[in-house]
Structure 1
């Protein structure tokens, strides 16, 4: 799939943020921990969600997904071996490891996939499972984990990994005794997943702090839970607003308190921001200041917005830079921007941009989810037609993105 975009910087209007992708891809696998039907609301209608729903159906669940509401009900005995190769399509499928381990005490599945962002080891997850009493083995492309009995333990993470923190939460909520996860990640999506588990009866303390305590229970019940808004999607459209020269963009359904790092940056470089409740209005400034930013775990600047922030650098006079500290291969957009004429380079773990850059038409390739979003933002800066190939990666994580960009005045067509 591809999109054709004819650039236009005079974008304006209002866009509503969907449910958080990074919460949904963990909450759907976590549903297997409940022994009763449950409902999840504000679920983004994205490809990753559709893939996970398909896996649920294959392992013994009936699902109904309409108008962002997902109903889940077990209708057959769960096979501890997930045979579907769809788990290879997204990284988030590895949350079935923790969920199955917690519910069944064993699991076997293909290793998960997703965007190629470099070295993304799951050793933190596996080491934590071992601390709970599980045995882990690899059999070709598959990973097998079993624990006759899960017992609470103290788990000290070497790095505050979001994925490991969530997976260990899923495994420990039904382990015997108390589990302490030290150096836990504190991202809002972890709090979202933790609150989902608590709504099913889980005994969890310390969500949003580096130390989480979990007291295991024998069962979890059904629930009706609403996923929080997606802070990365909100950030995507705020950065678009900083690039645009129209009457400004209003982002609705944004959780302002979870976006401090980005909002502070936008204000510091000269953007105009107006915040009213869960709405953020942004309008670009006349002379935006060059900036240096480093991606960090929450509450620092999110790695998921790093590639998009470098696009903003293209319109700013002077040298700006982005230092990437989370992933080793989050520079896939750089060569694509070079094809458009951008003065951009990578040195080690840092991207440097000398702006402003006059972009020209080109055919470019989206290599991963956030790369795709960054290239769309860059295409708004080129008055000629830009073609972006492999745009299906965008649909993995953004709900109705083409329609949302069109609503702001962008000439964009999906082919």
Structure 2
């Protein structure tokens, strides 16, 4: 399998364009199942995860065509008819988010058989809320031999969905299922992430009637059918935050373009508190650190607009070189400190107890062999390697390819000494 080698010490200088958001793109792709017309998605990221979902959609009957348009990479999706309402384990296991085809399949055809996604390296992440959403909308749910059998032969019906806790995936799934339900659906305690707004805007462009996305109360008036549309995927806020931290870690000045700084305000606040200069501008932000000593700060992950759990590993890497002790509390996922032992191999001083990590800053990091354990953890090791003395070799980088497009190219264009080493071997799944 591929590896990435980084020789640390080079300051970053230049511009990095941010790609379309992975976490949004895969849900917008699933929305294409809701119509027989063509959904054209622009600003599409080219990632392992979008390719995985594309294969699953093709199995279900979707024509998937990737091309380069006037505005960059785009994907055309058209599902004239659902040729199969079965999403098999061998495809669903490769990416948890593919489970979200369940709602659109039931909404359009009245039935579906979708594999349970299985375990995840960063925690249990059960799909109970997803199933309760469909039951609330009138579907009959049966579990058998690792598959979910959902049936609503007379269609779904609008209902009130009140989540016991905020769930991004379940909120998106509710929106995808309810747009074709008969009557009105209200969702309370909904997730407020920008991706909710992106999905709602895309669905509305297709003829849905969704209001309130981005707040804790979403209202959906079901419609009889959706039509095709052209829609631009929002910029990836996690990629934005990742490169912002990378620039702070390596030092120098990097301008991040084709994105929005307000998507990562919680991160920016902590970076400024740590002594990093961050300047927002119309199409993104500029990050500067020219020799200033990093200061240790405390971070606690939370639902949006709180500090994103998907940026916790990256920020931990930054804090390994901060003056003093920083405390990082993880409130979203269990088992999401698996990058800590790998950072310690580079010389970091980190102790973990339960959902809390204490990071005592060190004078320097030293390059070493490290292993990626999940998507965000893997990129934290790349970030640490940018500042480590000598060479850092990150193994199992198929995790990186799930969520970061042309990472070596983007960092290399800003002066990073980074290269991919091609290799044979098995891939993996999350």
Structure 1 residues 6-45: aligned runs within 5 Å: 6-45=7-46
Displacement of 1:75: 4.7
Displacement of 1:9: 4.2
Q: Distance in 1 between matches of 2:118 and 2:275?
A: 39
Confirm or deny: 8 A CA contact 1:89 1:114 kept in the other structure.
no
Q: 1:161 to 1:208 in 2, by over 3 A?
A: same
Q: Distance in 1 between matches of 2:64 and 2:92?
A: 18
Counterpart in the other structure of 2:254:
249
Confirm or deny: 8 A CA contact 2:123 2:333 kept in the other structure.
yes
Q: Distance in 2 between matches of 1:288 and 1:414?
A: 29
Counterpart in the other structure of 2:396:
390
| Structure 1: unaligned runs, 5 residues or longer | none
Q: Distance in 1 between matches of 2:80 and 2:137?
A: 29
Count residues in correspondence. 414
Counterpart in the other structure of 2:58:
57
- Residues 1:168 and 2:174 are matched in the alignment: yes
Displacement of 1:287: 2.7
- Residues 1:116 and 2:117 are matched in the alignment: no
SS at match of 1:125: helix
Q: Distance in 2 between matches of 1:396 and 1:9?
A: 26
Q: Distance in 2 between matches of 1:76 and 1:208?
A: 32
Confirm or deny: 8 A CA contact 1:174 1:216 kept in the other structure.
yes
Q: Distance in 1 between matches of 2:419 and 2:274?
A: 32
Once the two structures are superposed, residues 124-167 of structure 1 have per-residue CA deviations (whole angstroms, 9 ceiling, x without a partner) of: 11111111111112221222111123111111101110000000
Counterpart in the other structure of 2:296:
290
Q: Which moved more, 1:300-309 or 1:130-139?
A: 130-139
Confirm or deny: 8 A CA contact 1:55 1:84 kept in the other structure.
no
Confirm or deny: 8 A CA contact 2:32 2:79 kept in the other structure.
no
- Residues 1:276 and 2:281 are matched in the alignment: yes
Confirm or deny: 8 A CA contact 1:372 1:394 kept in the other structure.
yes
Structure 1 residues 82-93: aligned runs within 5 Å: 82-83=87-88, 85-93=90-98
SS at match of 2:36: coil
Q: Distance in 2 between matches of 1:59 and 1:357?
A: 54
Q: Which moved more, 1:2-11 or 1:186-195?
A: 2-11
Structure 1 residues 14-413: aligned runs within 5 Å: 14-67=15-68, 68-83=73-88, 85-112=90-117, 116-148=121-153, 149-246=155-252, 248-284=253-289, 286-413=292-419
Confirm or deny: 8 A CA contact 2:111 2:150 kept in the other structure.
yes
Displacement of 1:353: 0.5
Q: Distance in 2 between matches of 1:331 and 1:365?
A: 13
Q: Distance in 2 between matches of 1:200 and 1:314?
A: 46
SS at match of 1:399: coil
Q: Distance in 1 between matches of 2:332 and 2:89?
A: 30
Q: Distance in 2 between matches of 1:137 and 1:342?
A: 48
Confirm or deny: 8 A CA contact 2:12 2:251 kept in the other structure.
yes
Once the two structures are superposed, residues 299-330 of structure 1 have per-residue CA deviations (whole angstroms, 9 ceiling, x without a partner) of: 00100000100011011110001100000011
Displacement of 1:103: 1.2
Confirm or deny: 8 A CA contact 1:295 1:306 kept in the other structure.
yes
| Structure 2: unaligned runs, 5 residues or longer | 422-430
With structure 1 as the length reference, what TM-score do the two structures score?
A: 0.97
With structure 2 as the length reference, what TM-score do the two structures score?
A: 0.93
Displacement of 1:244: 2.0
Counterpart in the other structure of 2:425:
none
Q: Distance in 2 between matches of 1:115 and 1:234?
A: 24
Q: Which moved more, 1:272-281 or 1:189-198?
A: 272-281
